[in-house]
A and B are shown apart, each in its own frame.
Chain A
Amino acid sequence: MKTGAKILIEGLQHEGVEVIFGYPGGAILPVYDELYNSRMKHILVRHEQAAAHAADGYARASGRVGVCLSTSGPGACNLVTGIATAYMDSIPVVAITGQVPTALLGNDAFQESDITGITAPITKYNYLVKDVADLGRVVREAFYISGTGRPGPVLIDLPKDIQNAGLADETPLPEHVALRGYQPTYRGHARQIDTALRMMAEAERPVIYAGGGIILSGASQELVELAERMGIPVTTTLMGLGCIPCDHPLNLGMLGMHGTCYANYAVTDCDLLIAVGVRFDDRVTGRIEAFAPGAQIVHIDIDPAEIGKNKPIDVPIVGDAKTVLQAMIQRMKPPGARGKWQDQIRVWKEKYPLQYREDGALRPQYIIRELSDLLKGEAVIVSEVGQNQMWTAQYFCFKKPRTWITSGGLGTMGYGFPAAMGAHFAQPEVPVFVIAGDGSFQMNIQELGTVAQYNIPVKVVILNNMYLGMVRQWQEIFYDRRYSYTELPSVEFVKIAAAYGIDGVRVETCDEVLPAMKLALDTDGPFVMDFRIEREENVYPMVPAGAAINEMMQGYMK
């Protein structure tokens, strides 16, 4: 006889799962007992939220489905923020939760919560398994749904009696996944593609607006090739950073609320916007009516529901970014001359570069720039949320896809540190750095225990301003400097790290920055850097909420 727990573990092995992030409890004990026999790697986190974020970080850094595991009730509920984070950024994660025995379902039993009900709005799909005979199929379907089409989290809720229930040994896993209600479209419509290509050849001022869909689909190479051969500049969303090398001449950097001036100007002035793997999020578009107001818009996305959701689209193309861009490269026609547009962009780039005050004070932009120069793109950079995230997006030079990991859609503080643990297991040979604020780091600081236990070499860069910096920035600008509950007392992070047996340094001057980073790189294992930065440094440029994206506040200018 094979138990449900065994069927689950075999199913995970069959899907090629390398590592599970989890936390045990009563309702998942049979699965943990099975894990005890298994060769599969399991990382014991210190909070289930971290398990979900770690699975998500693993997925983003690897392109494969990440897996997290928890018990019922409180354990399952602790996964929720992590599942929502993955959902908002379309990240493939399979979450497995224990559940009270089927006989007690709906009874308000000890540690029962309706986790399929709770997660219905934040999963691509979820299952409550009530018959062990369904389990093999459910595991296969879960991975298939999670990782294909527009990826997303899938949850499997597994009552304890199903984990224990036996099924005759010879029961095979189903060979195919057959879901008549789920058939993603990968190939774009040929006529629509030709229409788009004609417009791209004829446009005088085209811009490509590329997002996380490029990374998810593995379409970076195709994107760069198409941009080069058609001579079209590219701006990326926060999620799309890395899909074109930052130092590529056609790269305009990030657009939107904290985007570069030249990206925002180019989008505002363009006559053709080619949107690929993006969703016209409000942080990108600003006032939507004023976003690319004079442009015709081509939108390529695998999710038909994203097309036309926020903005009317002239040429919709439903399909996988890589497949569609490949078809475009094959069929494209050479463009006309666009000297004037290129000149205009050059002028903007020269006139409005990203800039900050370089006066010898320890500023976060300087720290990110030093890190960027040191690592030269050969690292995975994971951010927390807030100013630290925006400074990293602006000043770190990303050269490759899947080297930048951040919670974009949900903006989850506490995401970065555990996601970095996951990223390490996806790219074990590559240094992994977390850029954190002192606020965000304290949201999942308990994971110092996990990185210490398994010697996970995550290097933590804390941009310590003793504020909830991004909120303070808004209070400074929009609430007359009334810093209502955004000040944090100083914390000796190096001492906290030391309590876990982790090395670290505190840095107060620019001279100490590079040596601290080199020490971190030379340290075998985790390392914590506590950078005491200028406390009231702001993120600029900035588009105030409700403004058009070309109505930016510049901040400091030389």
Chain B
Amino acid sequence: MKAHTLSVLVENRAGVLSRVAGMFSRRGFNIESLAVGTCEVPDMSRMTIVAIGDDAEVEQIKKQLNKLVDVIKVTDITDVENVGRELALIKVNTEPGGSRAEVMQIADIFRAQIIDVAAKSLVLEVTGDSGKINALENLLRQYGITELVRTGKIAVVRGGKGLKSSK
């Protein structure tokens, strides 16, 4: 079992997300995260899907994705040099004069931004790979995390070439 990162170009149309998500649940495939948004081609969207399975399973996932009429191209970039990032927003309890300084120090080390300050809490914005975000989350837990949102991973292949948009 291994996490695979799939970069999937799809038609930018109503219903595409539910078709993709539905295919995963229907066939019992494990999806770790799915992030979707517009991309460099005006009427297409790019999804970054992190799926977990053995080789045969991931092969099936790719084939079943390709079968969807709205899916234009599927690229498995797991074994290609790529950079992947997630964004997380974390709301942490802080005591003025006490834990607040510690949390700000931790944020600094992780190069997280503080994007909101209230009397007894801070909101941190952090980007990085999942490992980094997990580490930050673990460190902050002792102070009390009241809310946490993660985007799911997005990724691009390193170097000058883009992923071509034809099948």
Contacts and interface: CB of A to CB of B under 8 A. Distances in A.
Interface residues of A, number: 19
A125 B69 contact: yes
Interface in B151-167: 166-167
A305 interface: yes
Contacts of B124: none
A179 B69 contact: yes
A414 B68 CA distance: 30
Contacts of B166: 180
Contacts, number: 40
Contacts of B64: 305
Contact of A117 (B10, B11, B18, B68): B18
B22 A120 contact: yes
Nearest to B11: A181
A303 B60 CA distance: 12
A37 interface: no
Contacts of B15: 116, 128
Interface in A128-160: 128, 145
A305 B70 CA distance: 16
B69 A145 contact: yes
A124 interface: yes
A333 B60 CA distance: 34
Interface string B22-33: 100010000000
A128 B59 CA distance: 31
B71 interface: yes
B67 A303 contact: yes
B63 interface: yes
B118 interface: no
B36 to A, nearest CB: 15
B56 interface: yes
Contacts of A183: 167
Interface in A165-222: 179-183
B42 to A, nearest CB: 13
Given A120-B19, A145-B69, A181 B167 contact: yes
A121 interface: yes
B99 interface: no
Interface in B1-45: 10-11, 14-15, 18-19, 22, 26
Given A145-B69, A304-B63, 5 more contacts: A180-B166, A181-B70, A181-B71, A303-B67, A305-B60
19 contacts: A116-B15, A117-B18, A120-B18, A124-B69, A128-B14, A145-B69, A179-B69, A180-B72, A180-B166, A180-B167, A181-B10, A181-B68, A181-B71, A181-B72, A182-B69, A303-B67, A305-B66, A305-B67, A309-B60
